[in-house]
Amino acid sequence: MKRIRWAAVAAAAATAGTGLALPTPAAATAAPVAAPANFICPLIIAVCAFTEPGGTGSRKIIIRDEANLAPPVRSAINNTGEPWCFYSSPGFQGSNREVSAGGVVPNFGFAARSARSGSCNQE
């Protein structure tokens, strides 16, 4: 037990010396989004997209721009601090729908075949 405690103290000292901070227990357990019960998404900084409306069907975790989502997705929950734009066609083309930072879209109204971080209005 002393070895584990010493390792934790050493890690805290090392990060403090470099200007980095370890997450506090409150920050580590805080949920970034109050998701509807059927939107099952791990508490990670990512977007969880689902193949069916309402957070149902297969789940895909998106952490970077996806020019070709396969299979296409129809709903999403955004656990990131920035908006994401989903498109009806591959290559960030076609109709689009924005999922705000911390937001939930239960139905895009189309099958999204690509997605990228940032507002849909930045084009």
Q: What is the pLDDT of residues 78-108, one digit of tens each?
A: 999 999 999 999 999 999 999 999 999 999 9
Find out whether 67 and 44 touch, Cβ atoms under 8 Å: no
- pTM here is 0.70
Whether 16 is covered by a domain: the verdict is no
**For strand 47-52 and strand 84-89, is the pairing parallel, antiparallel, or unpaired?**
unpaired
Which tens digits make up the pLDDT trace of 9-26? Answer: 344 444 344 443 434 333
- Give start and end residues of each alpha helix (H) in the chain: 2-18, 25-29
Whether 96 is covered by a domain: the verdict is yes
How many residues belong to the chain?
123
The whole domain housing 62 covers: 24-122
CA 123/CA 109 separation, integer angstroms: 21
Q: Which two tokens stand for residue 83?
A: 């908006």
Split at pLDDT 50, 70, 90, the class of 123 is low
| R_g of the chain, CA atoms, integer Å | 18
Whether 29 is covered by a domain: the verdict is yes
Query: How many folded domains does the chain comprise?
Result: 1
Whether 5 is covered by a domain: the verdict is no
Whether 13 is covered by a domain: the verdict is no
- CATH number of the domain within which 66 lies: 2.60.20.10
